[in-house]
Structure 1
Amino acid sequence: MVVNRSVQTEKKDVSDLIVIGAGAGGMTTALVAALQGLSVTLCEATEQVGGTTATSAGTIWIPGNHQSKEIGLDDSLENGRVYLDAILGKEDPHGRRSAYLGTADEAIAFLESRSEIKFVPAGIHPDYLQFPGAAVSGRALGPAEFDGRRLGSEFRRIRPPLQDLMILGGMMAGKADVKALIGRYRNWNNFFHSAKILARYGQDRLSYRRGTRLVLGNALIARLYYSLRQAGVIVRFNTELCDLVRDRGRVTGALVNEGGTRLLLHTRLGVVLATGGIGHNRTLRSSLWSNNASFPSLAFERNRGDGIVAAQRAGAVLDRHKDSFFWQPVSRIPEKGGSERLFPHLYLDRTKPGIIAVDGTGNRFANEAASYHHFVEAMWARNGSDNAIPCYFICDSLFVRSYGLGIIAPGTRFFQRYEESGYIKTDPTLAGLAKKIGVEPQSLLLSVKKNNQYALTGHDADFGQGSTLLNTFNGDPGHKPNPCLGQISAPPFFALAIWPADAASSTGLATDADGVVLDENGSRICGLYACGNDMASIMNGAYPGPGITIGPAMVFGYRIALHAKRMLSRSQEHLAMRNFHESK
């Protein structure tokens, strides 16, 4: 590219590696590179780190990880390989799947030994599909809780979770916390746990805008950012990627916009794209979805696909998957001015006993307790014959008091403001509710009647809800005979419209096993790397289990840093040999 004279050139501050994007993948790459002795420039387009990872559960999927083995959970790398082979078929031509499996535990062990990154076994956390090699426990790891106060004033740099997933306006809660809070009066352990985290939150709010007890994806991001600061890596905030700089086929720098000033950053080893995938880029989204349906996205709102677009201009190609998106079911929350925000229905309500999902005809169409991704796949499949977009969650007042419904918290007894805003529909009768959502009353009545019969027997003859370990794991273990099946009989009755939304893209830039971006001929574009959702998923559109986006983002960030280090070593060896021969 030709650089305009108005562009400032930072020649004196050439770095070994330029990383674009401060999510899990980008920060891991920058951290490992710095720990290997490389100089790193880390650019983030916004004022905060974390991207979509900050609002996620922060889980990573690592078959055969050492943390689980240390507490006696039985899993192996080979079983993980068998599982993925059964789902995905033969290995990809560049060996990325084998590279991931072979490096994953090594990468996490390196981070834990050299930084503040800490993971704990999730215990029982089943894989999402029933294939040979599937595991019930031992593969999922979650980030250890982190005290945000350790960051001091830099705590403001951690992107907060989704506002509707925080309690009392700013308190984070993991799965164990939610269980304790809902059952706080059932036993002393729950009561004391709830009292402890509430007291901590109350103390936090005297000095902070939100709670500093960080869990889930927020804890992971905070640990990464804290570790980067310890390693001396400075994040250049408000620095957006404009274009990549190439010289004789090699990427040698990045043109960025830093707070309104265009800068040309130079690199010795390469540029790493970790900008979050296609995000909200309309052109890319429409090119990857063929049924002409639009849908919202849970991706970070500032993610516009800049990394992928810049890479394409540099000759990169997309590795397109038949299923290009990873899905989550969401409800739309109306806001003033006509805007809206999204609430993801992962396990808090959808998988509990006493709720069903119906299509536009009032009939059930799926196992409500399937994984979020596979539930939305069922929505799309049904939408071809009977409109299931939106579909509707149907439940009663007892369900809402017990488990909540979307943004309506458990224990809520007054629902007028939710109905007036358009978030829910309610009615004293199921027939009246059916008319309000535009479905055939008799169909809805029959669907509820069958559900109530299944709740008594514990057997869902239509879709097998509660028949898998994943189902029962996310259900209510105290509800019998089936933790996922319950009566819908206590008026008033509720309906909540549910839509498909993508959480990330599976399609991304084609790369090799070291994260080097490839061109249309399958050749490496020297000096250009990609990880996270900028890199095409090694899962090829499938969703085998929890953490299959963040895990690869971190592992390939680790591999990229090691590859860059090897390139530097080879360059130095070559230079030393040349100087040796020239001196003779």
Structure 2
Amino acid sequence: MQENNEGYKEVDLLVLGGGAAGMTTALVAALEGLDVLLAEKTDQVGGTMSTSAGTIWIPGNQQSREAGYQDTVDAARVYLDALIGTPDDTGIREVYLRTAPEMVEYLRRRSDVQFAPCGKHPDYRDMAGAAVAGRGLAPVTFDGRLLGKDFERVRPPIPEFMVLGGMMAGKSDIPRLINRFRSVSDFLYSGGLFLRYLKDRLRYSRGTRVVMGNALAARLYYSLKKNGVPVLFETQAESLFREDGRVAGALLRSAGRSLRVRARRGVVIATGGYGHDAELRRRCMPAPTPPYSLACAANTGDGIRLGLQSDGAIRPETQGPGAFWTPVSVLRRPDGSKGLFPHLSLDRAKPGLIAVNGAGRRFVNEADSYHDFVEGIYASHKSVPTMPAYLVCEADFVRRYGLGAVYPGTTDLSRAERSGYLVVAPTLQELARRIQVPEPAFAETVRRYNEMARLGTDLEFGKGGSELNRFNGDPEQKPNPCLRPIEHGPFVALAVWPAEIGTSTGLVSDADGQVLDGQGRPVGGLYVAGNDMASIMMGTYPGPGTTLGPALTFGYRVARHAAGVSAATRKQSSTVSMA
């Protein structure tokens, strides 16, 4: 990296944003021999990835095949074509399907970014080409101590995803922690986690055994450090500049001073989307605009605006609802701040829970994916107030499975009730009054649901009818793992609202991440990846890792394109069978 003392630097590639796409782009570019600079707006890397589940959706990946799970790119193509419902005219979906397994293998061979098969983790719709297992990959648990003091540079998960104020627990850890007093093996396992955590807190602000999206963020950052990629923290791009008709660099604001960075191979926009920009939310999302967002607070549309100012284009009308959705409940944390808990998979599919709208009626299959659940909220809200909707269950359900931020095993709900998080009532009639839904309609809804639960078949919305439903249900509940009557008080209700886990409307690009203008021509020297890039999923949500899979894959393609690795060379260098 060439620099002088007058606020000027020159590099091969300038990457704006230290999230999944930005760090992947910077890492691969460095591995391909480029001189790279990564500029991150905040004082930590990771962005929204750090608070996510961290799964990536990679059809036909080598790791799953090695583990015995059979899947093909051809089947995934059939699935995406059926789900999205429009032709892949640009070929960008095909490029994703062909490149994603190659990207995973590249990172496995050349970095510390490592994934393991999720095993059974069904696609979110039962359609032609859908898979029950093999497409989901999860980041391998990471030891944050390897980063030393720089572990504090990794954005932590949300507090509600940690126990004891700072210990992360993955999905596989939860049953063992809950059952720690029921078996010797679970007690020893849990004790080991607690002991590790206590040792960590002597040196770190939180536990260093990191999982899920936090592990992916830490692994990417660790790989960047090992490859000598400089990261400028608290650095924001104020504008881009051109030379000879192409984007040639950016004017940054870093450490209180201006810094002009010339980028010989180009500038990469990867700033995380527009989750916290009110204007772009109104422009790109359906009405009413969701009041909440799970995106990193620094995702304010900076990159998209830079792209638009440089002749790039966005097309909200072709990108579906503008975001990838999840229902969230709103809680007040001990420090008085507001928290959002995403209802992804741990409660809605379990037997003995329904969701009702303002008319006291069910409106959706509660066990469907988080994205489809919110689509149901929007469909219902067109005729009946459904923001918020209410999850309804027995207090015993909360003891068995937990509800939102209330952990399984909780028998005393008074604290959650006093804080306003839960509504608890001795009878269904009283619960209806407290959540202000019509009592007769609500009573009939529960009666009808109970009748179907005893039969084991949801004749209204099909809860328990899909692979995904059953996967997230309770296998001990027969005959339907997602249905149990709601009849014994006290009864509980929890308000949930629509929110996004990532935006999907973004800058239009080609298959190598080159930003396109309004006429479909590449804007020279300007790339995009991640949630700043128009999603290839066109507003649909095929399975776990729908945002992170493309973020890493197109970050990989951007870096290789900037490094001058041709498509032919990529094909020859790939050792992955795509059949």
**TM-score surpassing 0.5?**
yes
1:62 touches 1:140 (CA, 8 Å); kept in 2? yes
Find the counterpart in structure 1 of residue 293 from structure 2.
297
Find the counterpart in structure 1 of residue 212 from structure 2.
216
Q: What displacement does 1:412 show? A: 1.8
Q: 1:358 aligns with which of 352, 356, 359?
A: 356
Once residues 414 and 454 of structure 1 are traced to their aligned partners in structure 2, the CA distance between those partners, rounded to angstroms, is 30
Once residues 340 and 291 of structure 1 are traced to their aligned partners in structure 2, the CA distance between those partners, rounded to angstroms, is 24
Q: What displacement does 1:59 show? A: 0.5
Superposed CA offset, 1:95-133 (max 9, x none): 211111111111110111011011000000000012110
Q: 1:446 aligns with which of 433, 444, 447?
A: 444
Q: 1:428 aligns with which of 426, 429, 444?
A: 426
* Counterparts of residues 78-89 of structure 1 (less than 5 Å): 78-89=74-85
Residues 1:242 and 2:248 are matched in the alignment: no
1:278 touches 1:505 (CA, 8 Å); kept in 2? yes
Superposed CA offset, 1:387-430 (max 9, x none): 11111011111111111111112222222232222212111111
Q: What displacement does 1:452 show? A: 2.4
Once residues 75 and 370 of structure 1 are traced to their aligned partners in structure 2, the CA distance between those partners, rounded to angstroms, is 23
Seen in structure 2, the aligned counterparts of structure 1 residues 216 and 336 have a Cα distance that, compared at 3 Å, is: closer
Once residues 196 and 490 of structure 1 are traced to their aligned partners in structure 2, the CA distance between those partners, rounded to angstroms, is 38
Q: What displacement does 1:226 show? A: 0.4
Find the counterpart in structure 2 of residue 264 from structure 1.
260
Once residues 275 and 48 of structure 1 are traced to their aligned partners in structure 2, the CA distance between those partners, rounded to angstroms, is 13
Once residues 401 and 292 of structure 1 are traced to their aligned partners in structure 2, the CA distance between those partners, rounded to angstroms, is 35
Q: What displacement does 1:335 show? A: 5.2
Q: 1:484 aligns with which of 479, 482, 486?
A: 482
**Secondary structure of 1:316 counterpart:** coil
Give aligned pairs, total: 562
Find the counterpart in structure 2 of residue 376 from structure 1.
374
TM-score, normalised to structure 1, is: 0.93
Matched residue type, 1:221:
A
Q: What displacement does 1:82 show? A: 1.1
Find the counterpart in structure 1 of residue 190 from structure 2.
194
Matched residue type, 2:328:
V
Once residues 5 and 200 of structure 2 are traced to their aligned partners in structure 1, the CA distance between those partners, rounded to angstroms, is 43
Once residues 262 and 541 of structure 2 are traced to their aligned partners in structure 1, the CA distance between those partners, rounded to angstroms, is 38
Mean alpha-carbon deviation: is it higher for 349-358 or for 48-57?
349-358
Matched residue type, 1:266:
R
Residues 1:160 and 2:160 are matched in the alignment: no
Seen in structure 2, the aligned counterparts of structure 1 residues 293 and 563 have a Cα distance that, compared at 3 Å, is: closer
Superposed CA offset, 1:164-206 (max 9, x none): 1111211111111112223334544434333332232222223
Find the counterpart in structure 1 of residue 573 from structure 2.
none
* Counterparts of residues 248-397 of structure 1 (less than 5 Å): 248-320=244-316, 321-334=319-332, 340-397=338-395
Residues 1:558 and 2:553 are matched in the alignment: no
1:91 touches 1:97 (CA, 8 Å); kept in 2? no
Residues 1:142 and 2:138 are matched in the alignment: yes
Once residues 8 and 517 of structure 1 are traced to their aligned partners in structure 2, the CA distance between those partners, rounded to angstroms, is 32
Matched residue type, 1:334:
R
Residues 1:61 and 2:46 are matched in the alignment: no
Matched residue type, 2:203:
S
Seen in structure 2, the aligned counterparts of structure 1 residues 331 and 101 have a Cα distance that, compared at 3 Å, is: same
Q: What displacement does 1:207 show? A: 2.4
Q: What displacement does 1:211 show? A: 0.9
Find the counterpart in structure 1 of residue 461 from structure 2.
463
Q: What displacement does 1:552 show? A: 0.5
TM-score, normalised to structure 2, is: 0.94
Seen in structure 2, the aligned counterparts of structure 1 residues 548 and 521 have a Cα distance that, compared at 3 Å, is: same
Superposed CA offset, 1:488-538 (max 9, x none): 233221111110001111111000000000011111001000000011111
**Secondary structure of 1:195 counterpart:** helix
Once residues 73 and 268 of structure 1 are traced to their aligned partners in structure 2, the CA distance between those partners, rounded to angstroms, is 43
Find the counterpart in structure 2 of residue 504 from structure 1.
502
Q: 1:28 aligns with which of 3, 24, 28?
A: 24
Once residues 289 and 151 of structure 2 are traced to their aligned partners in structure 1, the CA distance between those partners, rounded to angstroms, is 39
1:359 touches 1:388 (CA, 8 Å); kept in 2? yes
**Secondary structure of 1:318 counterpart:** coil
**Secondary structure of 2:292 counterpart:** coil
2:118 touches 2:137 (CA, 8 Å); kept in 1? yes
Find the counterpart in structure 2 of residue 537 from structure 1.
535
Q: What displacement does 1:485 show? A: 1.3
CA RMSD, 1 decimal: 1.8
Gaps of 5+ in 2: 568-579
1:8 touches 1:262 (CA, 8 Å); kept in 2? no
Q: 1:521 aligns with which of 516, 519, 522?
A: 519
**Secondary structure of 1:369 counterpart:** coil
Superposed CA offset, 1:419-467 (max 9, x none): 2222121111110110011011122222222222333222111111111
Once residues 540 and 77 of structure 1 are traced to their aligned partners in structure 2, the CA distance between those partners, rounded to angstroms, is 19
2:290 touches 2:498 (CA, 8 Å); kept in 1? no
2:290 touches 2:499 (CA, 8 Å); kept in 1? no
Once residues 10 and 252 of structure 1 are traced to their aligned partners in structure 2, the CA distance between those partners, rounded to angstroms, is 16
2:126 touches 2:467 (CA, 8 Å); kept in 1? no
Superposed CA offset, 1:344-385 (max 9, x none): 011121111111101101111111100000001001000111
Once residues 91 and 303 of structure 1 are traced to their aligned partners in structure 2, the CA distance between those partners, rounded to angstroms, is 31
Once residues 483 and 93 of structure 1 are traced to their aligned partners in structure 2, the CA distance between those partners, rounded to angstroms, is 41
2:367 touches 2:464 (CA, 8 Å); kept in 1? yes
Once residues 386 and 379 of structure 1 are traced to their aligned partners in structure 2, the CA distance between those partners, rounded to angstroms, is 10
Mean alpha-carbon deviation: is it higher for 558-567 or for 182-191?
182-191
Find the counterpart in structure 2 of residue 475 from structure 1.
473
Find the counterpart in structure 1 of residue 98 from structure 2.
102
**Secondary structure of 2:261 counterpart:** strand
1:8 touches 1:264 (CA, 8 Å); kept in 2? no
Seen in structure 2, the aligned counterparts of structure 1 residues 491 and 290 have a Cα distance that, compared at 3 Å, is: closer
Once residues 564 and 409 of structure 2 are traced to their aligned partners in structure 1, the CA distance between those partners, rounded to angstroms, is 57
**Secondary structure of 1:154 counterpart:** helix
Matched residue type, 1:132:
A
Q: What displacement does 1:479 show? A: 2.3
Find the counterpart in structure 2 of residue 399 from structure 1.
397
